[in-house]
């Protein structure tokens, strides 16, 4: 993975099954960027503040019923509502941090029986993530971590299919797989260390350098950071 040009912004998304820590880690990254004085924007999808987002919520809490094609069109449309903003932020050289993005629609859609190609075409006009942090946990741990779930995430078999699809997608060079079964602080450190290696030589985005031999971090053999 090569460093990106400083002539544009950077789009970083966080993916993974339910309770993998996406919201926590994306917000911790935002906190680090804020402390370093780096301009950034944050979005979490689905974005329920819009009429489309409200309709997604109505489905998830079983207030309305839709077939899978309609639901994944709604998920995609919810992102397209924010495409002008994302395009503008990138042109303003900001970091754009996203808790779930286009990849979620593909992973969950395929798990729901929809064709991958069709789902990829739905998302094809959205700006592509420069880096995707895949926070990988087992479906079994997901179920232990979170008891209250929406209609999709309450099905262990469905969650397993989503996990398998994420694993298949993670072979892309844009994806960075993290063992998300570790402590929150260790995962955040690994994310910061990875971004420092990828971007700091070009952008000097962080106020301090992270030492690769920091004693707080013990990366196990075979882990991808």
Domains of the chain: 10-203 (3.40.50.300)
pTM: 0.87
Q: Please tell me the predicted confidence (pLDDT) of residue 199.
A: 85
- Residue range 83-96, pLDDT digits in tens: 999 999 999 999 99
Q: Is 97 helix (H, G, I), strand (E, B) or coil?
A: strand
Q: What is the pLDDT of residue 120?
A: 98
**Cα–Cα distance for residue pair 126/121, rounded to 1 Å:** 10
* Residue owning tokens 């998304």: 13
Asked if residues 27 and 56 have their Cβ atoms less than 8 Å apart, the reply is: no
For residue 205, the model assigns a pLDDT of: 57
Q: What is the mean pLDDT of each run of 10 residues along the chain (225 residues)?
A: 69 96 97 94 98 96 95 98 98 97 98 97 98 96 79 82 97 97 97 89 51 37 32
User: Which residues make Cβ contacts (< 8 Å) with residue 31, sequence separation at least 6?
Assistant: none
Q: Are 15 and 166 in contact (CB under 8 A)?
A: yes
CA–CA dist 26, 14 (Å, integer): 7
Chain position carrying tokens 């450190």: 189
Contact indicator for 147, 205 with CB cutoff of 8 Å: no
Containing 175, the helix (H) or strand (E) segment is strand 175-179
Residue 208's pLDDT is what? 41
Q: What is the pLDDT of residue 203?
A: 55
pLDDT in tens, 140-162: 999 888 776 667 677 889 999 99
């Amino acid at each position: 993975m090569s460093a990106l040009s400083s002539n544009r912004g950077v789009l970083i998304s966080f993916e993974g099954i339910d309770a993998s820590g996406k919201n926590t880690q994306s917000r911790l990254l935002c906190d680090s960027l804020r402390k370093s004085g780096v301009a950034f924007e944050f979005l979490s999808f689905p974005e329920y503040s819009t009429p489309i987002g409200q309709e997604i919520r109505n489905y998830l809490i079983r207030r309305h019923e839709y077939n899978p094609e309609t639901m994944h069109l709604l998920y995609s449309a919810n992102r397209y509502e924010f495409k002008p903003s994302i395009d503008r932020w990138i042109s303003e050289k900001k970091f754009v941090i996203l808790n779930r993005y286009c990849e979620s629609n593909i992973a969950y859609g395929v798990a729901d029986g929809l064709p991958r190609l069709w789902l990829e075409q739905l998302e094809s006009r959205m700006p592509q993530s420069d880096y995707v942090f895949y926070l990988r946990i087992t479906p079994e741990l997901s179920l232990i971590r979170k008891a209250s779930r929406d209609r999709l995430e309450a099905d262990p078999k469905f969650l397993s299919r989503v996990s398998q699809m994420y694993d298949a997608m993670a072979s892309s060079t844009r994806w960075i797989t993290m063992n998300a079964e570790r402590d929150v602080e260790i995962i955040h450190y690994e994310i910061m260390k990875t971004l420092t290696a990828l971007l700091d030589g070009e952008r000097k985005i962080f106020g301090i350098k992270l030492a690769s031999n920091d004693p707080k971090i013990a990366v196990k053999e075979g882990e991808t950071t």
